[in-house]
């Protein structure tokens, strides 16, 4: 009788574990139905997704590049604005203010930035709104600029601020990726005002909102005070492609 009870209990425990595993998705969906739990669960899920994505990111893995014949025509490349389409940057007086964990802080003109080797690439730009296009971008590697300003190799982030009050950040692995550019040209021409002149980010391994336009400030940091405009609204902080 005792043996029978032990076997029955083991079967019950096994069945119980199995049934609980089956019920896990149902329980999760039920939790989402509780208003107070929705936001914490969504934040936790997004945080885990960002953490996992960052662990899989490899600086040696390149985003796809394309032939000139694959390019979206320049006049068909959509223009997205955060606040205003043209914050009316004085292009003649513009400088990039560099601060943070660097050996050479200060003001850098576009001419100084252009002394670094120029890189051109045909890469895909993916917008969080659901559209994507293939464009021709030119500029200097962000990694070369970080070396130029003597960025602390122990720093973890690069943050930027923009003339239209937009702001964004990149983890250091993304910032030093060989395809991450300080972009000053598109389609063989200087960057237009509506596309972010005189300097923007071109990061083909990231979603479009990470590719800030109208750069005015760049800071190398170990601890971020803010991640980015859309991230502070609840969007992904990593959002790799």
Report the alpha-carbon distance of residue 212 to residue 168 in Å, rounded.
7
- pLDDT at position 112 is 98
Q: How far apart are CA 52 and CA 214, in angstroms?
A: 31
d(CA 217, CA 215): 6
What pLDDT, in 10s, does the model give residues 183-204? 999 999 999 999 999 999 999 9
pLDDT, position 240: 80
Tell me the pLDDT tens digit for each residue of 140-187.
Answer: 999 999 999 999 999 999 999 999 999 999 999 999 999 999 999 999
Q: Give the C-alpha separation, 143 to 67, whole Å.
A: 25
pLDDT at 80: 80
C-alpha distance from residue 66 to each of 124, 155, 177 (Å): 8, 33, 18
Considering only CA atoms, which of 160, 146, 144, 162 is closest in space to residue 104? 146
Distance from the first to the final alpha carbon of the chain: 61
Q: Of the candidates 206, 113, 210, which has an alpha carbon nearest to the alpha carbon of residue 166?
A: 210
**Burial of 21 per CB tally in 10 Å (0-12, 13-18, 19+):** exposed
CATH number of 61-233: 3.90.420.10
Please report the sign of the dihedral spanned by the C-alpha atoms of residue 92, residue 90, residue 94, residue 207: negative
- Close Cβ partners of 62 (under 8 Å, ≥ 6 residues apart): 178, 179
CA separation for the pair 175, 167 (Å, rounded): 15
Q: Could you state, in chain order, the average pLDDT of each consecutive group of 10 residues for the chain (241 residues)? A: 41 44 46 50 42 51 96 94 82 98 98 98 95 98 98 97 96 96 98 96 96 97 92 84 67
Q: Is the peptide bond before 198 cis (omega within 30 degrees of 0)?
A: yes
Q: What is the 3-state secondary structure (H, E, C) of 41-86?
A: HHHHHHHHHHHHHHHHCCCCCCCCECCHHHCCCHHHCCCCCCCCCC
- Distance between CA atoms of residues 84 and 215, nearest Å: 14
């Amino acid at each position: 009788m005792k043996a029978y009870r032990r076997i029955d209990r083991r079967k019950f425990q096994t069945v119980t574990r199995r049934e609980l595993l089956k019920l896990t998705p149902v329980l999760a969906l039920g939790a989402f139905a509780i208003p107070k739990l929705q936001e914490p669960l969504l934040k936790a899920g997004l945080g885990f997704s960002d953490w996992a994505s960052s662990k899989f990111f490899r600086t040696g893995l390149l985003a796809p590049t394309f032939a000139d014949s694959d390019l979206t025509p320049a006049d068909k490349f959509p223009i997205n604005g955060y606040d205003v389409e043209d914050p009316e940057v004085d292009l003649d007086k513009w400088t990039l203010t560099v601060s943070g964990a660097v050996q050479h802080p200060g003001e850098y003109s576009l001419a100084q930035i252009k002394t670094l080797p120029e890189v051109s690439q045909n890469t895909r730009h993916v917008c969080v709104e659901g559209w994507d296009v293939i464009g021709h971008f030119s500029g200097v590697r962000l990694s070369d600029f970080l070396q130029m300003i003597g960025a602390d190799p122990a720093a973890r982030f690069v943050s930027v601020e923009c003339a239209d009050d937009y702001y964004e950040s990149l983890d250091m692995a993304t910032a030093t990726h060989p395809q991450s550019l300080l972009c000053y040209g598109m389609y063989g021409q200087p960057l237009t005002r509506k596309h972010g002149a005189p300097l923007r980010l071109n990061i083909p391994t990231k979603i479009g909102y990470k590719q800030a336009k109208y750069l005015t400030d760049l800071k190398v940091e170990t601890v971020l005070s803010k991640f980015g405009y859309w991230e502070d609204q609840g969007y992904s902080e990593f959002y790799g492609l």
